Chain A
Amino acid sequence: MTMRSDSGHSGYSHDLLVHHSDDELVHGTRAFVEQGLASGGQVLVHGSRDRVGLLRQELGAHPRLEYGFDEELYQAPTDTLFAYQRKLAEAGAGVDFWVTGTVPLGRDAAERAAWARYESAVNEALSAYSFRALCTYDARTLPGSVIDAARATHPTVSTDLTSRTSPEYVDPAAFLADPLAQVPGPPGSPPSLAITIHRLDQLARARHQVRTTARASSAVPQRSIDELLVAVNEVVANGLVHGAPPVQLSLWVDVTTLTCRVVDSGMSALDPVTGYRHPEDWGPMGLWAARQLVDELFISSPAEGGCSVLLTKT
C-alpha cells in the first residue's frame, strides 16, 4: 500500500477511481486536485460538459487549475496520447502535470476498446514524465467490460483516498494480447493491392501504388492518405533495414477506412509497444512518427516468422 507522495517531484502514476455516486467522484477528485495544487503542479480536470460543470462548481478556481471538455481534448485516442506526450516533453523537468477525469465512452465496442488500449498505452508513452493521472469511471453507467479493462490498464486503484497496486493490472504489451483489448486483425476480404518490396529503391514506386489505389476507391481525405503514406513508408523501411527483405505490403481500401499490413521476413520479434516512447537524441523515430500519423498501429510477431504491422487510417 502506498500513499500518494507529497514530495516536490511527483513522478508518474496512473490511478483508477471506480465511483458509485457523484459524492464519491467529487470527494476523490477534490483530494487529487488539492494534492496537485499543494505540490505546485499544473492540474487539469476533464470530462463531459455535465461532469465538468459539476466539478467546477465544487472545486472552484485556481491559477494552476484548468478545466477541459472531452469533446475537445479526447477526440481520438492516438491524438490525445501524443498531445499529452508533446506537452510533457516540451515542458521538461520541473513541471508536474496532474490530470483527472473520465475518458469518453466510445460510440460502439470498437471505440470503447480503442480507448481501453489508450489507457494501457499511457503507461508506456507517458511514464517517463512527471505525470499524475486519476481516471474516474462511473460504475452506475459504464458496461462491466469497460470497468474490467480499466482495472487491467491502471497500475493502481484508489479507495478512500489511498492508492493500492491493482492486482488485475497487466503491462501494455501484455494487455494487447488480452481479449479485453480487442486488437483488430486485417479485413477478411482479399486486399485491393499486394506488393512485394525487396529494396529501399523500390519504396517510391510502392508509395505511388498505395496512393493511386487509395485515391481510386475510397473517400478518405487526401491529407489522411498523405499521412498514411509516410507511416507505411517508415514501417516498410524499418522492415527492410531492421527486419529482412522481402517485405509484403497489403492494402485494403474501404470507403471510409484504409488498412495496411506490412510483413517483413526477419527472424526476430519486435516489441508490440515499440514507438510509443519519445525518441531521445535522434534515436530511431520511424515507428514513433508512424504511430502519430495513423489512427492505430499494431505490431505482432506471427508464429511463422517475420514481423507484422497493421495500420489503420480513416
Chain B
Amino acid sequence: MQRAPDQDVTPRPTLDVRISDTSTGVLVHLAGELDTENASRFVEAVTRSLAAHAGREVEVDLSGLTFLDVAGVRALATVHDRATRQGARMRVRGLDATRLPAAAVLGLDQYLRARPARRDESAGPNPPA
C-alpha cells in the first residue's frame, strides 16, 4: 500500500438548510453534513424562523443528511427545546440510526419524543441519556 503524501485540506460547503412555509408551520429540510463547524448557523437560521411562527408546527427533515456529529445532535436538541418553549411542536423525520450513528449513541430519538424542554436556556437542555 502506497503512503499518500501529506495532503492539503481545503474547506467546502457541507450543509444545505431549506426552510419553507407549510399550512401548519414550517418545514426545515437539511441536506449534507451537520457538524460542529456549521451547527450554530443551523440553530440561528431555525431560531429566526421560529420567532415568526410561534405556536406552529416545525418539521425537521433529516433524510438528506449524510453525516451528523455530536455538536449536530446538540443543535437538534437545542432547536427542539427552543421550539417547545415557544409553544411550537417540533417533529423530526428521517432519523435513521444506521446512517446517523451519533444520534443513536446519544439517544436523540428518545430525547425528542420523551422530553419537552422545561429548563431555562442558560442551564442547557437535559442530556439525552
Query: Which A residues are closer than 8 A to B by beta carbons?
Result: 86, 89-90, 189-207, 209, 213, 217, 223, 226-227, 229-230, 233-234, 237, 253, 278-283, 285-286, 289, 292-293
Residues of A within 8 A of B14 (CB): 204
Q: Measured between alpha carbons, how far is A195 from B9 in the docked complex, in Å?
A: 8
B contact residues vs A (CB 8 Å cutoff): 1, 3-7, 9-12, 14, 33, 35-37, 67-71, 74, 98-99, 101-102, 105-106, 123-127, 129
Q: Is the CB of B1 within 8 A of A189?
A: yes
Complex contact B98–A223 (CB within 8 A): yes
User: What's the dominant secondary structure at chain A's contact region?
Assistant: helix
Can you report 8 A-B residue pairs in the complex whose CB atoms are below 8 A from each other?
A: A190-B1, A191-B4, A201-B11, A201-B37, A217-B1, A229-B67, A230-B69, A237-B71
Bound-state CA distance A190–B5 (Å) is 11
How far is the CB of B121 from the nearest CB of chain A, in Å?
12
Tell me if A192 and B129 are in contact (CB < 8 A).
no
Which of B1, B11, B102 neighbours the largest number of chain A CB atoms within 10 Å of its CB?
Answer: B102
Interface pair B129/A89, CB less than 8 Å apart = yes
- Bound-state CA distance A49–B98 (Å) is 31
Q: Please tell me if the beta carbons of A203 and B35 are within 8 angstroms of each other in the complex.
A: yes
- Give the chain A neighbours of B3 by CB distance below 8 A: 190-192, 194
CA distance A200 to B37 in the complex (A): 6
Q: Tell me the minimal C-beta distance from A163 to chain B in angstroms.
A: 31
Residues in A neighbouring B101, C-beta threshold 8 A:
223, 226-227, 230, 293
Q: Which residues of A have CB within 8 Å of B125?
A: 282
Interface pair A192/B1, CB less than 8 Å apart: yes
The 7 A-B residue pairs with the shortest CB-CB distance in the complex, in nearest-first order: A201-B11, A190-B3, A202-B9, A204-B14, A282-B124, A200-B37, A205-B9
Q: A203 to chain B: which residues have CB within 8 Å?
A: 35-37
Q: Please state if B74 and A226 are interface contacts (CB–CB under 8 Å).
A: no
A293 touches B11 (CB 8 A): no
Q: Do the beta carbons of B6 and A237 come within 8 Å of each other? A: no
Cβ contacts under 8 Å, A204 to chain B: 11-12, 14, 33, 35, 37, 67
CB < 8 Å neighbour of B1 from A194, A197, A226, A253: A253
Determine the chain B residues whose CB is within 8 A of the CB of A283 once the complex forms. 127
Whether A286 touches B127, Cβ cut-off 8 Å, given contacts A204-B35, A205-B12, A226-B101, is no
Contact: A279 with B11, CB < 8 Å?
Answer: no
A224 → chain B, closest Cβ, in Å? 10
Known contacts A230-B69, A282-B127, A195 near B37 by CB under 8 Å: no
Find chain B residues with CB under 8 A from A279 CB.
127
